């Protein structure tokens, strides 16, 4: 990992103070989600693993933090225009709820094949949904076109500074609750959560190694880190729908490539196995994207032995049909002490 030495530079003037300001805006609004442990998993891995459970956050995902903070930072004129963003589901719900709570109308551009539960929830929060074809349409261009035509204020779903700072409050809470960590694993789609987590790690646990985790078939961030330039890929085919992004934003690319320890990947079967573990052993529902970081920690068993490890569980939005299907496809983790 030597070539990926963390320098902790920060892009566009965004720093930990913005995370602290976001925390104040979110106080009494966002849930302070629990940090849980599994004695079974700790014994298997020979490590202390701390799960920051954002599946218990409002809208069932960490993205409420960034969505609310982004809307709260708007001027009265921007609020009056209404907001628009794009999302496969969790940010859609986050911005929709945040906008409703603050008296702002939201329009969300969502893929036609987004999970029905996520679309229903987004609509239930009062947002207008515009659907697009994930395989054929450019959602960024479509969203910007609608914003221009309708005079809406565009909130980039992972490149907006308010989004990044809001997402960083999850890692801040984790460090505040458990102290410094040796390693932190964070799911990565567009990079907002990882970028915010890096800001918090720099300030609160500077020696902590921070790893971003992507689906194996959607490793645009890993490629970008290796090549030193922003890489764009075709829409990845993975059950981790929250990480079916084609590229990082310029802002998240800069923060991540200058600060992250490395970007690693896991495959869909590993996600299914972790999903089943969460349901059977920890009694909680975690969506496939939310399993990315935990699956990577299990994969890195030899590297985390004897360490204090943080894992961001990013969301838990699954309908009952999906949950039953994924549980049936998952396999029990065959880990044993000293043989993992």
Query: Tell me: the pLDDT tens digits for 177-210?
Result: 999 999 999 999 999 999 999 999 999 999 999 9
Shared-domain flag, residues 188 and 297: yes
169 domain residue, yes or no: yes
pLDDT of 339 reads 34
Same domain, 36 and 80: no
pLDDT tier, 33 (very low <50, low <70, confident <90, very high otherwise) = very high
The active-site residue, picked from 87, 88, 247, 249, is 88
Q: Which of 24, 25, 29, 48 is nearest to 38 (CA)?
A: 48
For the segment 225-251, the average pLDDT, to the nearest whole number, is 95
Q: Is the pLDDT of residue 11 over 60?
A: no
- Residues 319-331, mean pLDDT to the nearest whole number: 94
* 218 and 314, same domain (yes or no): yes
For residue 142, give the CATH number of its domain.
3.40.50.1100
Tell me the percentage of the chain whose pLDDT exceeds 90: 88
pLDDT in tens, 121-163: 999 999 999 999 988 899 999 999 999 999 999 999 988 999 9
Expressed in angstroms, the distance from the first to the final Cα of the chain is 22
Asked if residue 88 and residue 178 are part of one domain, the reply reads no
Give domain status of residue 81, yes or no. Answer: yes
- Domain-embedded: residue 183: yes
- Report yes or no on 315 lying in a domain: yes
The verdict on 84 and 186 lying in the same domain is: no
State the chain's mean pLDDT as an integer. 93
Q: Is the pLDDT of residue 6 over 60?
A: no
Same domain, 98 and 233: no
| pLDDT at residue number 146 | 97
Average pLDDT of the residues in 267-292: 98
Residue 9 predicted with pLDDT over 70 = no
Q: Is the same domain home to 125 and 257?
A: no
pLDDT score for 1? 33
Q: What pLDDT shows up at residue 335?
A: 60
In this prediction, residue 252 carries a pLDDT of 97
Q: Among residues 111, 134, 154, which one ends one of the domains?
A: 154
Q: The domain containing residue 243 runs over which residues? A: 2-61+161-329
**126 and 21 in a common domain:** no
Among 6, 11, 52, 63, the active-site one is 63
Task: Verify that 284 and 169 share a domain, yes or no.
Answer: yes
Whether 88 sits among the annotated catalytic residues: the reply is yes
Domain final position from 132, 154, 176: 154
Number of domains composing the chain:
2
Q: What pLDDT shows up at residue 333?
A: 86
Q: What's the pLDDT at 3? A: 33
Task: Please give the pLDDT value at position 90.
Answer: 87
- Residue 96 in any domain: the answer is yes
119 is catalytic: no
- Print the SS3 string covering the chain: CHHHCCCCCCHHHCCHHHHHHHHHHHCCCCCCCCEECCHHHHHHHCCEEEEEEHHHCHHHECHHHHHHHHHHCCCHHHHHHCEEEECCCHHHHHHHHHHHHCCCCEEEEEECCCCHHHHHHHHHCCCEEEEECCCCCCHHHHHHHHHHHHCCEECCCCCCHHHHHHHHHHHHHHHHHHCCCCEEEEECCCCHHHHHHHHHHHHHCCCCEEEEEEECCCCHHHHHHHHCCCCCCCCCCCCCHHHCCCCCCHHHHHHHHHHCCEEEEECHHHHHHHHHHHHHHCCCCCCCHHHHHHHHHHHCHHHHCCCEEEEEECECCCCHHHHHHHHHHCCCCCCCCCCC
Q: Quote the distance between the C-alpha of residue 53 and its chain's center.
A: 12
Based on the fold, state whether residues 207 and 318 are members of the same structural domain. yes
């Amino acid at each position: 990992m030597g070539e990926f030495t963390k320098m902790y530079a920060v892009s566009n003037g965004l720093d930990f103070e913005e995370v602290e300001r976001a925390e104040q805006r979110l106080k009494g609004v966002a849930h302070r989600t629990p940090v849980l442990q599994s004695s079974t998993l700790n014994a298997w891995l020979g490590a202390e693993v701390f799960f920051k459970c954002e599946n218990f956050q409002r809208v069932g995902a960490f993205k409420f933090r960034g969505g609310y903070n982004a809307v709260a930072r708007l001027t009265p004129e921007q609020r009056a225009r209404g907001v628009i963003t794009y999302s496969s589901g969790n940010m859609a719900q986050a911005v929709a709820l945040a906008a409703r709570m603050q008296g702002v109308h939201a329009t969300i551009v969502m893929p036609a094949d987004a999970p029905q539960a996520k679309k229903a929830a987004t609509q239930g929060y009062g947002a207008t949904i515009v659907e697009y074809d994930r395989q054929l349409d450019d959602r960024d261009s479509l969203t910007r076109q609608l914003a221009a035509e309708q005079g809406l204020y565009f909130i980039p779903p992972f490149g907006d500074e308010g989004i990044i700072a809001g997402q960083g409050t999850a890692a801040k809470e984790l460090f505040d609750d458990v102290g410094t960590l040796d390693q932190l694993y964070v799911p990565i789609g567009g990079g907002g959560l990882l970028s915010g987590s890096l800001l918090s790690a720099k300030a609160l646990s500077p020696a902590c190694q921070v790893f971003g985790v992507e689906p194996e078939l959607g490793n645009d961030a890993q490629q970008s880190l290796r090549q030193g330039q922003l890489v764009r890929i075709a829409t990845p085919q993975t059950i981790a729908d929250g990480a079916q992004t084609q590229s990082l934003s310029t802002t998240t690319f800069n923060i991540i490539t200058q600060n992250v320890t490395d970007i690693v990947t896991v495959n869909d079967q590993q996600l299914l196995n972790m999903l089943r573990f969460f349901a059977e052993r920890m009694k909680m529902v975690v969506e496939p994207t939310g399993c990315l970081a935990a699956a990577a920690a299990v994969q890195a068993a030899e590297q985390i032995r004897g360490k204090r490890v943080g894992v961001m569980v990013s969301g838990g939005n699954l309908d009952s049909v999906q949950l039953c299907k994924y549980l049936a496809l998952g396999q029990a983790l065959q880990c044993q002490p000293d043989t993992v």
